[in-house]
């Protein structure tokens, strides 16, 4: 297996080596879904993960997000091997190193936009500090919603709700943002705006971005496209060249 190396000047964020995932292990119906996945994500990366339904994208995303553990292989996040970590250690690392954005925004309806952005800090540390509130306001400004900080989700459009969810994901200053079909519920114009926001986050927050998408128009705008078919990576291309 060739040694994986981060590009010069770009720090390694996530590394997968020999990753396999099986279900119903040890039973007559044992099934392997991922078959030896190797790749790394660097700080500079603005990447798309694509593949047909049933290719293993959701399984892989759960592993990348430390929401599940591989059957075989290793996941290094910020240089730390995670397979031997207990649940508390994985949860702690996930909470600081990773941000998540989903197809459904999952905002709390009783909370304002500002309170929703603050939620990760409130869950970990209780009452937010003045510094926390200031940072949350800056994030809302970054996503163009500073003037709507006190509105509830029901008072926001679908695109605005997703922007709040993106700001919330950035509240912990993650090194990697994982986005699962984040524009699936948005119209074409709004989806393009949200995707442009991801690119700006990648550049200005120095945060790697990996987007799972079925939309070839969106994946085509990424700097890197990783294609998964039947649990195997069949292509990993950077813009203009093979990775």
**pLDDT single digits (tens) 87-97:** 999 999 998 89
Asked if pLDDT for residue 242 goes beyond 70, the answer is: no
107: how many CB neighbours lie within 10 A of its CB? Answer: 22
The answer as to whether 32 is a domain residue is no
The answer as to whether 20 is a domain residue is no
The answer as to whether 187 is a domain residue is yes
Q: Do residues 223 and 211 touch, judged by C-beta distance below 8 A? A: no
b (16+ CB within 10 A) / e for 54-65: ebbbebbbebbb
Integer-rounded Cα Rg, in Å, for the chain is 18
Q: Which of 78, 69, 72 is nearest to 97 (CA)?
A: 78
Tell me the CATH number at 144.
3.40.50.300
**pLDDT single digits (tens) 102-142:** 877 789 999 999 999 999 888 877 888 999 999 999 999 98
**Full domain range(s) for residue 228:** 44-68+89-242
Quick one: pLDDT band at residue 5, thresholds 50, 70, 90?
A: very low
Cβ neighbours of residue 63 closer than 8 Å, sequence gap 6 or more: 16, 19, 21, 34, 69, 70, 75
Neighbouring C-alpha atoms within 13 Å toward the C-beta of 25: 7
Higher-pLDDT residue of 104 and 29 is: 29
**pLDDT single digits (tens) 46-55:** 999 999 888 9
Asked if pLDDT for residue 175 goes beyond 70, the answer is: yes
Asked if pLDDT for residue 241 goes beyond 60, the answer is: no
The answer as to whether 128 is a domain residue is yes
Q: What is the pLDDT of residue 26?
A: 84
Q: Do residues 215 and 137 touch, judged by C-beta distance below 8 A? A: no
Phi, psi of 21 (to 5 degrees): -135, 125
- The pTM of the full predicted model, rounded to 2 decimals, is 0.85
The answer as to whether 50 is a domain residue is yes
The answer as to whether 199 is a domain residue is yes
The answer as to whether 221 is a domain residue is yes
**From CA 79, how far away is CA 178, in angstroms rounded?**
18
101: how many CB neighbours lie within 10 A of its CB? Answer: 24
The answer as to whether 213 is a domain residue is yes
Q: What is the pLDDT of residue 8?
A: 43
Asked if pLDDT for residue 151 goes beyond 90, the answer is: yes
Across 155-176, average pLDDT: 91
Q: Is 85 exposed, middle or buried (0-12, 13-18, 19+ CB in 10 A)?
A: middle
Q: What is the pLDDT of residue 218?
A: 81
Domain count, the chain: 1
DSSP SS3 for 100: strand
């Amino acid at each position: 297996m060739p040694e994986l190396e981060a590009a010069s000047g770009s720090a390694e964020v996530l590394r997968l080596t020999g990753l396999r995932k099986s279900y119903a292990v040890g039973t007559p119906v044992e099934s392997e879904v991922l078959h030896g996945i190797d790749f790394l994500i660097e700080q500079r990366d603005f990447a798309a993960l694509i593949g047909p339904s049933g290719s293993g994208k959701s399984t892989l995303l759960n592993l990348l997000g430390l929401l599940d553990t591989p059957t075989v292989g290793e996941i290094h996040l910020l240089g730390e091997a995670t397979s031997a970590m207990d649940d508390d250690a994985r949860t702690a690392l996930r909470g600081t190193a990773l941000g998540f954005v989903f197809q459904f925004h999952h905002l709390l309806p009783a909370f304002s936009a500002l309170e929703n952005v603050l939620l990760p800090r409130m869950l970990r540390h209780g009452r937010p500090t003045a510094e926390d509130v200031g940072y949350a306001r800056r994030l809302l400004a970054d996503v163009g919603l500073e003037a709507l900080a006190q509105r509830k989700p029901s008072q926001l459009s679908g695109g605005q709700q997703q922007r709040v969810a993106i700001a919330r994901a950035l509240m912990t200053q993650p090194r990697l943002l994982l986005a699962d079909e984040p524009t699936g519920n948005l119209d074409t114009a709004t989806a393009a705006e949200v995707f442009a926001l991801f690119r700006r986050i990648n550049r200005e927050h120095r945060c790697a971005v990996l987007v799972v998408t079925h939309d070839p128009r969106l994946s085509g705008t990424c700097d890197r496209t990783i294609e998964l078919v039947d649990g195997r990576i069949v292509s990993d291309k950077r813009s203009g060249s093979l990775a």
